[in-house]
Amino acid sequence: MSTYDITIIGSGPGGYVAAIRCAQLGMKTAIIEKYDTLGGTCLNVGCIPSKALLDSSEHFHNATHNFEEHGIDVTGVQANITQMINRKNAVVEQTTKGIQFLMDKNKIDVHYGLGSFVDKNTVKVTDKDGKETTLSTKNVIIATGSKPNFFPGMEPDKKRIITSTEALNLTEIPKKMLVIGGGVIGLELGSVYSRLGTQVEVVEFANKIIPTMDSTMSKELTRVLKKAGFKFHLQHKVQSVKNTGKGVSLTALNKKDEEVTMEADYCLVAVGRKAYTEGLGLENIGLKTNDRGQVEVNEHLQTSIPNVYAIGDVIKGAMLAHKAEEEGVFVAELLAGQKPHINYNLIPGVVYTWPEVAAVGKTEEELREAGVEIKIGSFPIKALGRARASMDIQGTVKIIADAATDEVLGVHMVAPRAADLIMEAVTAMEYRASAEDMARICHPHPTYSEAVKEAALAATDNRPLHV
Ligand code: FAD
Ligand code: NAD
Protein backbone atom coordinates (compact mmCIF):
# COMPACT_ATOMS: atom_id res chain seq x y z
CA MET A 1 0.00 0.00 0.00
CA SER A 2 1.36 3.48 -0.92
CA THR A 3 1.57 5.94 1.97
CA TYR A 4 1.13 9.68 1.54
CA ASP A 5 1.15 12.84 3.63
CA ILE A 6 -1.76 14.13 1.56
CA THR A 7 -4.19 12.64 -0.93
CA ILE A 8 -6.26 14.97 -3.07
CA ILE A 9 -9.44 13.69 -4.69
CA GLY A 10 -10.19 15.62 -7.90
CA SER A 11 -7.76 17.34 -10.28
CA GLY A 12 -9.61 20.57 -11.13
CA PRO A 13 -8.03 23.98 -10.41
CA GLY A 14 -8.65 23.41 -6.69
CA GLY A 15 -7.13 19.92 -6.57
CA TYR A 16 -4.15 20.28 -8.89
CA VAL A 17 -3.06 23.62 -7.40
CA ALA A 18 -3.38 22.16 -3.88
CA ALA A 19 -1.21 19.23 -5.03
CA ILE A 20 1.52 21.52 -6.40
CA ARG A 21 1.62 23.66 -3.24
CA CYS A 22 1.65 20.57 -0.98
CA ALA A 23 4.55 19.12 -3.00
CA GLN A 24 6.40 22.46 -2.90
CA LEU A 25 6.06 22.36 0.89
CA GLY A 26 7.68 18.93 1.04
CA MET A 27 4.63 16.67 1.43
CA LYS A 28 4.45 13.28 -0.27
CA THR A 29 1.42 13.97 -2.44
CA ALA A 30 -1.09 11.89 -4.40
CA ILE A 31 -3.88 13.17 -6.64
CA ILE A 32 -6.80 11.06 -7.88
CA GLU A 33 -8.81 11.82 -11.04
CA LYS A 34 -11.67 9.72 -12.34
CA TYR A 35 -11.44 10.99 -15.93
CA ASP A 36 -8.56 10.32 -18.33
CA THR A 37 -7.34 13.92 -18.34
CA LEU A 38 -6.39 16.26 -15.51
CA GLY A 39 -7.72 19.77 -14.99
CA GLY A 40 -11.35 19.15 -14.01
CA THR A 41 -14.32 21.15 -15.23
CA CYS A 42 -12.27 24.29 -15.79
CA LEU A 43 -9.75 22.90 -18.26
CA ASN A 44 -11.88 20.22 -19.93
CA VAL A 45 -15.44 21.56 -20.16
CA GLY A 46 -15.40 25.00 -18.53
CA CYS A 47 -13.22 28.09 -18.47
CA ILE A 48 -10.70 27.17 -21.16
CA PRO A 49 -12.89 25.62 -23.89
CA SER A 50 -15.57 28.30 -23.45
CA LYS A 51 -12.99 31.05 -23.84
CA ALA A 52 -11.51 29.31 -26.89
CA LEU A 53 -14.94 29.34 -28.59
CA LEU A 54 -15.66 32.89 -27.39
CA ASP A 55 -12.45 34.06 -29.06
CA SER A 56 -13.14 32.21 -32.33
CA SER A 57 -16.70 33.49 -32.53
CA GLU A 58 -15.54 37.03 -31.75
CA HIS A 59 -13.09 36.90 -34.68
CA PHE A 60 -15.94 35.77 -36.92
CA HIS A 61 -18.20 38.53 -35.63
CA ASN A 62 -15.53 41.17 -36.23
CA ALA A 63 -14.88 39.87 -39.74
CA THR A 64 -18.57 40.01 -40.61
CA HIS A 65 -19.52 43.20 -38.74
CA ASN A 66 -16.51 45.45 -38.09
CA PHE A 67 -13.81 44.83 -40.70
CA GLU A 68 -15.51 46.86 -43.40
CA GLU A 69 -15.52 50.03 -41.31
CA HIS A 70 -11.85 49.47 -40.49
CA GLY A 71 -11.20 49.42 -44.25
CA ILE A 72 -10.71 45.69 -44.61
CA ASP A 73 -12.76 44.19 -47.42
CA VAL A 74 -13.45 40.51 -47.01
CA THR A 75 -16.02 38.48 -48.86
CA GLY A 76 -17.33 34.98 -48.47
CA VAL A 77 -16.55 34.76 -44.74
CA GLN A 78 -17.90 31.48 -43.37
CA ALA A 79 -18.01 30.07 -39.85
CA ASN A 80 -16.55 26.57 -39.83
CA ILE A 81 -17.89 25.10 -36.58
CA THR A 82 -15.96 21.84 -37.03
CA GLN A 83 -12.63 23.69 -37.19
CA MET A 84 -13.66 25.92 -34.26
CA ILE A 85 -14.40 22.84 -32.13
CA ASN A 86 -11.19 21.12 -33.32
CA ARG A 87 -9.12 24.17 -32.37
CA LYS A 88 -10.89 24.31 -28.99
CA ASN A 89 -10.11 20.60 -28.45
CA ALA A 90 -6.45 21.19 -29.29
CA VAL A 91 -6.28 24.04 -26.76
CA VAL A 92 -7.85 21.77 -24.11
CA GLU A 93 -5.46 18.92 -24.91
CA GLN A 94 -2.42 21.19 -24.70
CA THR A 95 -3.61 22.69 -21.41
CA THR A 96 -4.50 19.41 -19.70
CA LYS A 97 -1.17 17.88 -20.79
CA GLY A 98 0.46 20.89 -19.16
CA ILE A 99 -1.07 19.82 -15.83
CA GLN A 100 0.34 16.30 -16.26
CA PHE A 101 3.74 17.93 -16.83
CA LEU A 102 3.35 19.99 -13.63
CA MET A 103 2.44 16.84 -11.65
CA ASP A 104 5.54 15.05 -12.94
CA LYS A 105 7.76 18.06 -12.33
CA ASN A 106 6.59 18.28 -8.72
CA LYS A 107 6.86 14.49 -8.19
CA ILE A 108 3.14 14.14 -7.46
CA ASP A 109 1.73 10.62 -7.91
CA VAL A 110 -1.31 10.71 -10.20
CA HIS A 111 -3.84 7.88 -9.78
CA TYR A 112 -6.54 7.64 -12.46
CA GLY A 113 -9.84 6.20 -11.22
CA LEU A 114 -12.71 6.92 -8.83
CA GLY A 115 -11.45 7.90 -5.39
CA SER A 116 -13.51 6.81 -2.39
CA PHE A 117 -13.03 6.73 1.36
CA VAL A 118 -12.49 3.38 3.04
CA ASP A 119 -11.83 5.16 6.32
CA LYS A 120 -10.43 8.58 7.22
CA ASN A 121 -6.83 7.48 6.51
CA THR A 122 -7.48 5.11 3.61
CA VAL A 123 -8.62 6.02 0.11
CA LYS A 124 -9.39 3.46 -2.57
CA VAL A 125 -8.91 4.17 -6.28
CA THR A 126 -11.03 2.09 -8.68
CA ASP A 127 -9.91 2.41 -12.29
CA LYS A 128 -12.03 1.96 -15.46
CA ASP A 129 -11.27 -1.79 -15.53
CA GLY A 130 -12.34 -2.21 -11.92
CA LYS A 131 -8.78 -2.59 -10.63
CA GLU A 132 -8.42 -1.25 -7.08
CA THR A 133 -5.43 0.49 -5.51
CA THR A 134 -5.43 1.46 -1.86
CA LEU A 135 -3.66 4.56 -0.58
CA SER A 136 -2.83 5.19 3.04
CA THR A 137 -2.78 8.89 3.88
CA LYS A 138 -2.36 11.29 6.80
CA ASN A 139 -4.65 13.96 5.31
CA VAL A 140 -7.20 14.21 2.51
CA ILE A 141 -8.51 17.13 0.46
CA ILE A 142 -11.89 16.67 -1.23
CA ALA A 143 -11.79 18.68 -4.47
CA THR A 144 -14.48 16.89 -6.46
CA GLY A 145 -16.06 20.04 -7.91
CA SER A 146 -19.52 20.37 -9.39
CA LYS A 147 -21.87 19.26 -12.18
CA PRO A 148 -24.60 21.14 -14.10
CA ASN A 149 -27.83 21.59 -12.14
CA PHE A 150 -31.39 21.42 -13.51
CA PHE A 151 -34.94 21.48 -12.18
CA PRO A 152 -37.90 19.13 -12.79
CA GLY A 153 -39.25 19.52 -16.32
CA MET A 154 -35.93 20.66 -17.82
CA GLU A 155 -33.88 17.45 -17.52
CA PRO A 156 -31.14 17.56 -20.18
CA ASP A 157 -31.24 14.68 -22.69
CA LYS A 158 -27.82 15.90 -23.91
CA LYS A 159 -29.05 15.84 -27.53
CA ARG A 160 -31.43 18.78 -27.95
CA ILE A 161 -31.81 19.76 -24.30
CA ILE A 162 -28.19 20.34 -23.47
CA THR A 163 -25.83 21.52 -20.72
CA SER A 164 -22.70 23.62 -21.17
CA THR A 165 -20.70 20.44 -21.84
CA GLU A 166 -22.70 19.60 -25.00
CA ALA A 167 -22.91 23.27 -26.02
CA LEU A 168 -19.10 23.22 -26.23
CA ASN A 169 -19.29 20.39 -28.77
CA LEU A 170 -22.14 21.10 -31.19
CA THR A 171 -21.57 19.90 -34.74
CA GLU A 172 -23.83 22.53 -36.33
CA ILE A 173 -24.67 26.18 -35.86
CA PRO A 174 -28.29 26.20 -34.64
CA LYS A 175 -30.76 28.56 -36.28
CA LYS A 176 -32.34 29.20 -32.92
CA MET A 177 -31.31 28.37 -29.35
CA LEU A 178 -33.26 28.82 -26.14
CA VAL A 179 -31.17 29.36 -23.04
CA ILE A 180 -32.69 28.73 -19.62
CA GLY A 181 -30.84 31.00 -17.20
CA GLY A 182 -29.44 34.47 -17.87
CA GLY A 183 -26.38 33.87 -15.71
CA VAL A 184 -22.73 33.48 -16.63
CA ILE A 185 -22.90 30.28 -18.68
CA GLY A 186 -26.09 31.25 -20.51
CA LEU A 187 -24.68 34.61 -21.59
CA GLU A 188 -21.18 33.38 -22.45
CA LEU A 189 -22.24 30.36 -24.51
CA GLY A 190 -25.25 32.30 -25.80
CA SER A 191 -22.73 34.89 -27.07
CA VAL A 192 -20.72 32.22 -28.88
CA TYR A 193 -23.73 31.08 -30.91
CA SER A 194 -25.29 34.53 -31.29
CA ARG A 195 -22.06 35.75 -32.93
CA LEU A 196 -22.15 32.77 -35.29
CA GLY A 197 -25.66 33.72 -36.42
CA THR A 198 -27.91 31.77 -34.06
CA GLN A 199 -31.02 33.54 -32.79
CA VAL A 200 -30.56 33.31 -29.01
CA GLU A 201 -33.48 33.73 -26.61
CA VAL A 202 -32.84 33.71 -22.87
CA VAL A 203 -35.57 32.57 -20.48
CA GLU A 204 -34.74 33.90 -17.01
CA PHE A 205 -36.60 33.41 -13.76
CA ALA A 206 -35.42 36.69 -12.17
CA ASN A 207 -36.36 40.20 -13.33
CA LYS A 208 -32.84 40.85 -14.69
CA ILE A 209 -29.89 39.00 -16.16
CA ILE A 210 -26.71 38.32 -14.10
CA PRO A 211 -28.96 38.90 -11.08
CA THR A 212 -26.21 38.60 -8.46
CA MET A 213 -24.13 41.38 -10.00
CA ASP A 214 -24.60 45.15 -9.61
CA SER A 215 -27.88 46.26 -11.23
CA THR A 216 -26.20 48.94 -13.36
CA MET A 217 -24.06 46.22 -14.97
CA SER A 218 -27.11 44.08 -15.57
CA LYS A 219 -28.86 47.00 -17.32
CA GLU A 220 -25.79 47.86 -19.40
CA LEU A 221 -25.23 44.24 -20.46
CA THR A 222 -28.91 43.82 -21.33
CA ARG A 223 -28.67 46.85 -23.63
CA VAL A 224 -25.46 45.59 -25.25
CA LEU A 225 -26.71 42.05 -25.80
CA LYS A 226 -30.11 43.19 -27.12
CA LYS A 227 -28.24 45.29 -29.67
CA ALA A 228 -26.26 42.17 -30.58
CA GLY A 229 -29.51 40.31 -31.26
CA PHE A 230 -30.29 38.53 -27.96
CA LYS A 231 -33.93 38.33 -26.88
CA PHE A 232 -34.75 38.17 -23.17
CA HIS A 233 -37.82 36.65 -21.52
CA LEU A 234 -37.43 37.84 -17.93
CA GLN A 235 -39.61 36.73 -15.00
CA HIS A 236 -40.46 33.53 -16.85
CA LYS A 237 -40.86 30.32 -14.91
CA VAL A 238 -40.04 27.31 -17.09
CA GLN A 239 -42.61 24.53 -16.79
CA SER A 240 -41.20 22.00 -19.22
CA VAL A 241 -38.87 21.50 -22.17
CA LYS A 242 -39.40 18.66 -24.60
CA ASN A 243 -37.28 17.19 -27.37
CA THR A 244 -39.60 17.18 -30.39
CA GLY A 245 -37.22 15.16 -32.56
CA LYS A 246 -35.97 18.00 -34.74
CA GLY A 247 -35.85 20.57 -31.97
CA VAL A 248 -37.30 21.60 -28.64
CA SER A 249 -40.54 23.02 -27.32
CA LEU A 250 -40.48 24.99 -24.07
CA THR A 251 -43.42 26.14 -22.00
CA ALA A 252 -43.12 28.76 -19.29
CA LEU A 253 -45.34 30.98 -17.17
CA ASN A 254 -44.76 34.69 -17.72
CA LYS A 255 -45.11 37.30 -14.97
CA LYS A 256 -48.87 37.47 -15.55
CA ASP A 257 -48.98 33.68 -15.01
CA GLU A 258 -49.91 33.13 -18.67
CA GLU A 259 -48.51 30.06 -20.38
CA VAL A 260 -46.15 30.82 -23.27
CA THR A 261 -44.58 28.34 -25.67
CA MET A 262 -41.28 28.72 -27.50
CA GLU A 263 -39.69 26.51 -30.14
CA ALA A 264 -36.03 26.22 -31.12
CA ASP A 265 -33.40 23.81 -32.42
CA TYR A 266 -31.69 23.45 -29.03
CA CYS A 267 -32.29 24.41 -25.42
CA LEU A 268 -29.25 25.11 -23.23
CA VAL A 269 -30.01 24.57 -19.54
CA ALA A 270 -27.78 26.94 -17.54
CA VAL A 271 -29.46 27.38 -14.16
CA GLY A 272 -26.40 26.91 -11.96
CA ARG A 273 -24.20 24.01 -10.88
CA LYS A 274 -24.36 21.66 -7.91
CA ALA A 275 -21.63 20.24 -5.71
CA TYR A 276 -20.52 16.75 -6.75
CA THR A 277 -19.81 14.02 -4.18
CA GLU A 278 -21.20 10.88 -5.86
CA GLY A 279 -19.17 7.72 -5.27
CA LEU A 280 -16.88 9.41 -2.74
CA GLY A 281 -18.00 7.14 0.09
CA LEU A 282 -18.50 10.04 2.50
CA GLU A 283 -20.73 7.74 4.57
CA ASN A 284 -17.68 5.56 5.32
CA ILE A 285 -16.15 8.39 7.34
CA GLY A 286 -19.43 9.67 8.78
CA LEU A 287 -19.58 12.84 6.66
CA LYS A 288 -22.93 14.15 5.44
CA THR A 289 -23.52 16.82 2.81
CA ASN A 290 -25.76 19.82 3.56
CA ASP A 291 -29.16 20.47 1.91
CA ARG A 292 -27.36 21.98 -1.12
CA GLY A 293 -25.25 18.85 -1.52
CA GLN A 294 -22.11 20.68 -0.38
CA VAL A 295 -19.43 19.39 1.98
CA GLU A 296 -19.52 21.56 5.12
CA VAL A 297 -16.23 23.09 6.26
CA ASN A 298 -15.10 25.48 9.02
CA GLU A 299 -13.00 28.63 8.51
CA HIS A 300 -9.94 26.40 8.02
CA LEU A 301 -11.73 24.53 5.21
CA GLN A 302 -11.70 21.50 7.51
CA THR A 303 -14.63 19.09 7.65
CA SER A 304 -15.91 17.59 10.89
CA ILE A 305 -13.27 14.87 10.38
CA PRO A 306 -10.09 16.76 11.40
CA ASN A 307 -7.74 15.28 8.76
CA VAL A 308 -10.23 15.75 5.89
CA TYR A 309 -10.45 19.15 4.16
CA ALA A 310 -12.59 20.32 1.22
CA ILE A 311 -12.12 23.11 -1.34
CA GLY A 312 -13.58 24.63 -4.52
CA ASP A 313 -17.00 24.07 -6.04
CA VAL A 314 -17.83 21.21 -3.66
CA ILE A 315 -18.05 23.66 -0.72
CA LYS A 316 -19.90 26.94 -0.19
CA GLY A 317 -19.01 30.14 -1.99
CA ALA A 318 -18.47 31.36 -5.54
CA MET A 319 -18.02 28.56 -8.06
CA LEU A 320 -14.90 30.02 -9.65
CA ALA A 321 -11.60 28.49 -10.67
CA HIS A 322 -9.51 31.18 -8.96
CA LYS A 323 -11.47 30.76 -5.70
CA ALA A 324 -10.79 26.99 -5.83
CA GLU A 325 -7.08 27.65 -6.47
CA GLU A 326 -6.75 30.03 -3.52
CA GLU A 327 -8.42 27.45 -1.29
CA GLY A 328 -6.03 24.73 -2.51
CA VAL A 329 -3.04 26.87 -1.57
CA PHE A 330 -4.72 27.79 1.74
CA VAL A 331 -5.11 24.16 2.89
CA ALA A 332 -1.58 23.21 1.77
CA GLU A 333 -0.04 26.10 3.72
CA LEU A 334 -2.23 25.45 6.75
CA LEU A 335 -1.07 21.80 6.82
CA ALA A 336 2.53 23.04 6.60
CA GLY A 337 1.99 25.08 9.77
CA GLN A 338 1.68 28.47 8.05
CA LYS A 339 -1.06 31.05 8.66
CA PRO A 340 -2.67 31.61 5.23
CA HIS A 341 -5.57 33.98 4.61
CA ILE A 342 -8.19 34.39 1.88
CA ASN A 343 -10.08 37.67 1.48
CA TYR A 344 -13.39 36.31 0.12
CA ASN A 345 -14.71 39.84 -0.38
CA LEU A 346 -12.03 40.45 -2.99
CA ILE A 347 -12.56 37.46 -5.27
CA PRO A 348 -13.28 39.09 -8.63
CA GLY A 349 -16.09 37.86 -10.87
CA VAL A 350 -16.03 38.07 -14.67
CA VAL A 351 -18.51 37.39 -17.46
CA TYR A 352 -16.73 36.92 -20.79
CA THR A 353 -19.29 38.55 -23.04
CA TRP A 354 -18.10 41.38 -25.29
CA PRO A 355 -17.64 43.84 -23.78
CA GLU A 356 -16.76 41.84 -20.67
CA VAL A 357 -18.34 42.34 -17.26
CA ALA A 358 -16.11 42.34 -14.18
CA ALA A 359 -16.65 43.13 -10.55
CA VAL A 360 -15.02 43.07 -7.14
CA GLY A 361 -16.30 43.94 -3.68
CA LYS A 362 -19.86 44.89 -2.83
CA THR A 363 -22.65 45.89 -5.19
CA GLU A 364 -24.61 49.13 -4.74
CA GLU A 365 -27.65 47.08 -3.69
CA GLU A 366 -25.72 45.17 -1.02
CA LEU A 367 -24.25 48.36 0.45
CA ARG A 368 -27.57 50.23 0.47
CA GLU A 369 -29.27 47.24 2.11
CA ALA A 370 -26.54 47.17 4.77
CA GLY A 371 -27.20 50.88 5.39
CA VAL A 372 -23.70 52.02 4.38
CA GLU A 373 -23.49 55.67 3.27
CA ILE A 374 -21.89 55.58 -0.16
CA LYS A 375 -20.86 57.77 -3.07
CA ILE A 376 -20.63 56.60 -6.65
CA GLY A 377 -18.47 57.64 -9.59
CA SER A 378 -19.14 56.40 -13.12
CA PHE A 379 -17.46 56.90 -16.46
CA PRO A 380 -18.72 55.83 -19.91
CA ILE A 381 -16.31 53.85 -22.09
CA LYS A 382 -17.37 55.84 -25.16
CA ALA A 383 -15.66 58.94 -23.74
CA LEU A 384 -12.23 57.30 -24.10
CA GLY A 385 -9.99 58.04 -27.09
CA ARG A 386 -8.81 54.41 -26.99
CA ALA A 387 -12.40 53.18 -27.29
CA ARG A 388 -13.11 55.34 -30.34
CA ALA A 389 -9.85 54.25 -31.98
CA SER A 390 -10.81 50.59 -31.64
CA MET A 391 -14.57 51.12 -32.21
CA ASP A 392 -15.24 49.42 -28.87
CA ILE A 393 -17.36 52.14 -27.31
CA GLN A 394 -19.88 50.25 -25.19
CA GLY A 395 -19.77 49.96 -21.43
CA THR A 396 -19.24 51.83 -18.20
CA VAL A 397 -17.07 51.76 -15.08
CA LYS A 398 -18.66 52.33 -11.67
CA ILE A 399 -16.72 52.85 -8.46
CA ILE A 400 -18.49 52.83 -5.12
CA ALA A 401 -16.72 54.38 -2.14
CA ASP A 402 -17.59 54.95 1.50
CA ALA A 403 -19.11 58.43 1.77
CA ALA A 404 -17.22 59.26 4.95
CA THR A 405 -13.81 57.62 4.50
CA ASP A 406 -13.56 57.47 0.65
CA GLU A 407 -12.48 53.78 0.91
CA VAL A 408 -13.35 51.89 -2.27
CA LEU A 409 -15.98 49.27 -1.46
CA GLY A 410 -16.93 47.98 -4.90
CA VAL A 411 -15.82 48.32 -8.52
CA HIS A 412 -18.09 47.17 -11.33
CA MET A 413 -17.54 47.46 -15.04
CA VAL A 414 -18.82 46.52 -18.45
CA ALA A 415 -15.84 47.27 -20.65
CA PRO A 416 -13.53 45.93 -23.32
CA ARG A 417 -10.93 43.78 -21.47
CA ALA A 418 -12.76 44.29 -18.15
CA ALA A 419 -11.46 40.86 -17.06
CA ASP A 420 -7.95 42.31 -17.02
CA LEU A 421 -8.89 45.86 -15.97
CA ILE A 422 -10.54 44.64 -12.77
CA MET A 423 -7.17 43.62 -11.31
CA GLU A 424 -6.27 47.26 -10.71
CA ALA A 425 -9.33 47.51 -8.48
CA VAL A 426 -8.59 44.20 -6.71
CA THR A 427 -5.05 45.36 -5.93
CA ALA A 428 -6.20 48.78 -4.78
CA MET A 429 -8.90 47.29 -2.55
CA GLU A 430 -6.49 44.71 -1.10
CA TYR A 431 -4.46 47.72 0.13
CA ARG A 432 -7.70 49.45 1.22
CA ALA A 433 -7.21 52.32 -1.22
CA SER A 434 -9.49 55.34 -1.26
CA ALA A 435 -11.14 56.52 -4.47
CA GLU A 436 -8.75 59.46 -4.38
CA ASP A 437 -5.74 57.07 -4.20
CA MET A 438 -6.98 55.39 -7.39
CA ALA A 439 -7.71 58.72 -9.05
CA ARG A 440 -4.19 60.07 -8.38
CA ILE A 441 -2.40 57.07 -9.96
CA CYS A 442 -1.02 57.92 -13.42
CA HIS A 443 -2.71 55.74 -16.06
CA PRO A 444 -1.20 55.26 -19.52
CA HIS A 445 -2.90 57.06 -22.42
CA PRO A 446 -4.64 55.92 -24.50
CA THR A 447 -5.93 52.86 -22.64
CA TYR A 448 -9.22 51.49 -21.35
CA SER A 449 -7.71 51.76 -17.86
CA GLU A 450 -8.24 55.53 -18.02
CA ALA A 451 -11.94 54.80 -17.44
CA VAL A 452 -11.01 53.44 -14.00
CA LYS A 453 -9.09 56.61 -13.13
CA GLU A 454 -11.95 58.78 -14.42
CA ALA A 455 -14.58 56.82 -12.45
CA ALA A 456 -12.38 57.21 -9.34
CA LEU A 457 -12.15 60.97 -10.01
CA ALA A 458 -15.93 61.05 -10.33
CA ALA A 459 -16.32 59.16 -7.04
CA THR A 460 -13.78 61.32 -5.18
CA ASP A 461 -15.12 64.76 -5.81
CA ASN A 462 -17.26 64.51 -8.93
CA ARG A 463 -14.35 65.78 -11.02
CA PRO A 464 -13.87 63.50 -14.04
CA LEU A 465 -11.74 65.20 -16.70
CA HIS A 466 -13.12 63.85 -19.96
CA VAL A 467 -16.91 64.09 -19.64
P1 FAD B 1 -13.68 20.81 -10.87
O2 FAD B 1 -12.95 21.68 -11.82
O3 FAD B 1 -15.09 20.52 -11.11
O4 FAD B 1 -12.83 19.48 -10.71
C5 FAD B 1 -13.25 18.40 -9.96
C6 FAD B 1 -12.58 17.15 -10.49
O7 FAD B 1 -12.82 16.08 -9.58
C8 FAD B 1 -13.14 16.68 -11.84
O9 FAD B 1 -12.08 16.45 -12.74
C10 FAD B 1 -13.84 15.36 -11.51
O11 FAD B 1 -13.77 14.40 -12.54
C12 FAD B 1 -13.03 14.89 -10.30
N13 FAD B 1 -13.75 13.96 -9.43
C14 FAD B 1 -14.99 14.10 -8.90
N15 FAD B 1 -15.27 13.07 -8.08
C16 FAD B 1 -14.17 12.27 -8.09
C17 FAD B 1 -13.85 11.06 -7.44
N18 FAD B 1 -14.67 10.48 -6.55
N19 FAD B 1 -12.65 10.50 -7.68
C20 FAD B 1 -11.76 11.08 -8.56
N21 FAD B 1 -12.02 12.24 -9.20
C22 FAD B 1 -13.20 12.83 -8.94
N23 FAD B 1 -14.66 29.71 -13.55
C24 FAD B 1 -13.85 30.77 -13.66
O25 FAD B 1 -13.25 31.19 -12.67
N26 FAD B 1 -13.68 31.41 -14.86
C27 FAD B 1 -14.31 31.00 -15.98
O28 FAD B 1 -14.13 31.59 -17.05
C29 FAD B 1 -15.17 29.88 -15.89
N30 FAD B 1 -15.83 29.44 -16.98
C31 FAD B 1 -16.62 28.33 -16.88
C32 FAD B 1 -17.30 27.91 -18.02
C33 FAD B 1 -18.12 26.81 -17.96
C34 FAD B 1 -18.85 26.35 -19.20
C35 FAD B 1 -18.25 26.10 -16.74
C36 FAD B 1 -19.12 24.87 -16.66
C37 FAD B 1 -17.59 26.52 -15.60
C38 FAD B 1 -16.78 27.65 -15.65
N39 FAD B 1 -16.11 28.14 -14.53
C40 FAD B 1 -15.31 29.24 -14.63
C41 FAD B 1 -16.24 27.48 -13.22
C42 FAD B 1 -15.00 26.60 -12.93
O43 FAD B 1 -14.86 25.65 -13.97
C44 FAD B 1 -15.14 25.91 -11.60
O45 FAD B 1 -15.40 26.86 -10.59
C46 FAD B 1 -13.87 25.17 -11.25
O47 FAD B 1 -13.54 24.21 -12.22
C48 FAD B 1 -14.00 24.48 -9.89
O49 FAD B 1 -12.81 23.81 -9.60
P50 FAD B 1 -12.77 22.54 -8.63
O51 FAD B 1 -11.34 22.13 -8.58
O52 FAD B 1 -13.47 22.83 -7.38
O53 FAD B 1 -13.64 21.41 -9.35
P1 NAD C 1 -25.53 31.24 -12.62
O2 NAD C 1 -25.82 31.10 -11.19
O3 NAD C 1 -24.50 32.21 -13.06
O4 NAD C 1 -26.84 31.62 -13.43
C5 NAD C 1 -28.00 30.87 -13.35
C6 NAD C 1 -29.14 31.72 -13.80
O7 NAD C 1 -30.27 30.89 -13.95
C8 NAD C 1 -29.51 32.82 -12.81
O9 NAD C 1 -29.65 34.03 -13.51
C10 NAD C 1 -30.82 32.33 -12.23
O11 NAD C 1 -31.69 33.38 -11.84
C12 NAD C 1 -31.39 31.54 -13.40
N13 NAD C 1 -32.34 30.50 -13.03
C14 NAD C 1 -32.29 29.66 -11.96
N15 NAD C 1 -33.34 28.83 -11.98
C16 NAD C 1 -34.07 29.13 -13.08
C17 NAD C 1 -35.25 28.62 -13.65
N18 NAD C 1 -35.91 27.62 -13.08
N19 NAD C 1 -35.70 29.17 -14.79
C20 NAD C 1 -35.04 30.20 -15.37
N21 NAD C 1 -33.92 30.72 -14.88
C22 NAD C 1 -33.42 30.19 -13.75
O23 NAD C 1 -25.18 29.74 -13.11
P24 NAD C 1 -24.56 29.22 -14.47
O25 NAD C 1 -24.59 30.28 -15.51
O26 NAD C 1 -25.19 27.91 -14.73
O27 NAD C 1 -23.07 28.96 -14.05
C28 NAD C 1 -22.75 28.03 -13.00
C29 NAD C 1 -21.52 28.45 -12.27
O30 NAD C 1 -20.38 28.35 -13.10
C31 NAD C 1 -21.63 29.86 -11.79
O32 NAD C 1 -21.68 29.86 -10.39
C33 NAD C 1 -20.38 30.53 -12.23
O34 NAD C 1 -19.68 31.08 -11.15
C35 NAD C 1 -19.53 29.45 -12.88
N36 NAD C 1 -19.07 29.98 -14.19
C37 NAD C 1 -18.22 31.04 -14.17
C38 NAD C 1 -17.81 31.62 -15.34
C39 NAD C 1 -16.89 32.78 -15.29
O40 NAD C 1 -16.28 33.01 -14.25
N41 NAD C 1 -16.74 33.55 -16.36
C42 NAD C 1 -18.29 31.14 -16.55
C43 NAD C 1 -19.18 30.08 -16.54
C44 NAD C 1 -19.56 29.52 -15.34
Query: Which of 241, 259, 260 has its CA nearest to residue 249?
Result: 241
Going from the Cα of 12 to the center of ligand 2, the distance in angstroms, rounded, reads 19
Closest C-alpha residue for ligand 1 atom 46: 321
Question: Is the fold of 2-148+274-342 the same as that of 161-271?
Answer: yes
pLDDT computed for residue 461 by the predictor: 87
Going from the Cα of 209 to the center of ligand 2, the distance in angstroms, rounded, reads 10
Q: Long-range contacts of range 214-218, CB-CB < 8 Å, 24 or more positions apart?
A: 214/359, 214/363, 214/364, 214/365, 214/398, 214/410, 214/412, 215/363, 215/364, 215/365, 216/364, 216/378, 216/396, 216/398, 216/412, 217/357, 217/359, 217/398, 217/412, 217/413, 217/414
Q: List CB contacts of 302: < 8 A, sequence separation 6 or more.
A: 308, 309
CB atoms < 10 A from the CB of 54, how many? 19
What CATH superfamily classification does 2-148+274-342 receive? FAD/NAD(P)-binding domain (3.50.50.60)
Torsion angles phi and psi, residue 351, rounded to 5:
-120, 125
Residues with CB under 6 A from ligand 2: 151, 180-186, 188, 203-206, 211, 238, 270-273, 318-320, 350-352
Q: Where would I find the H helices in 298-410?
A: 321-335, 364-369, 385-390
Helix (H) or strand (E) run with residue 311 in it: none
pLDDT computed for residue 116 by the predictor: 98
The CA distance from 50 to 88, in Å, is 8
Domain ranges, ordered by start, for the chain: 2-148+274-342, 161-271, 347-461
The CA distance from 352 to 57, in Å, is 12
Query: Which of 334, 332, 340 has its CA nearest to residue 27?
Result: 332
Q: Which atom of ligand 1 is nearest to the CA of 113?
A: 20
The CA distance from 390 to 383, in Å, is 12
Fold of 161-271: FAD/NAD(P)-binding domain (3.50.50)
Strand pairing report for 231-233 and 237-243: unpaired
pLDDT computed for residue 1 by the predictor: 77
Query: From the first residue on, what is the mean pLDDT of each consecutive set of 10 residues in the chain (467 residues)?
Result: 94 98 98 98 98 98 97 97 98 98 98 98 97 98 98 98 98 98 98 98 98 98 98 98 97 97 98 98 97 98 98 98 99 98 98 98 98 98 98 97 98 98 98 98 98 98 92
- Find the ligand nearest to 213 CA: 2
Beta strands in 40-180 (DSSP E): 109-112, 114-119, 122-126, 132-142, 146-148, 161-162, 176-180
13 Cβ below 6 A of ligand 1:
yes
Helix (H) or strand (E) run with residue 75 in it: none
Q: List CB contacts of 101: < 8 A, sequence separation 6 or more.
A: none
pLDDT computed for residue 2 by the predictor: 86
- Find the ligand nearest to 179 CA: 2
CATH architecture, domain defined by 347-461? 2-Layer Sandwich (3.30)
Asked if residues 409 and 362 have their Cβ atoms less than 8 Å apart, the reply is yes
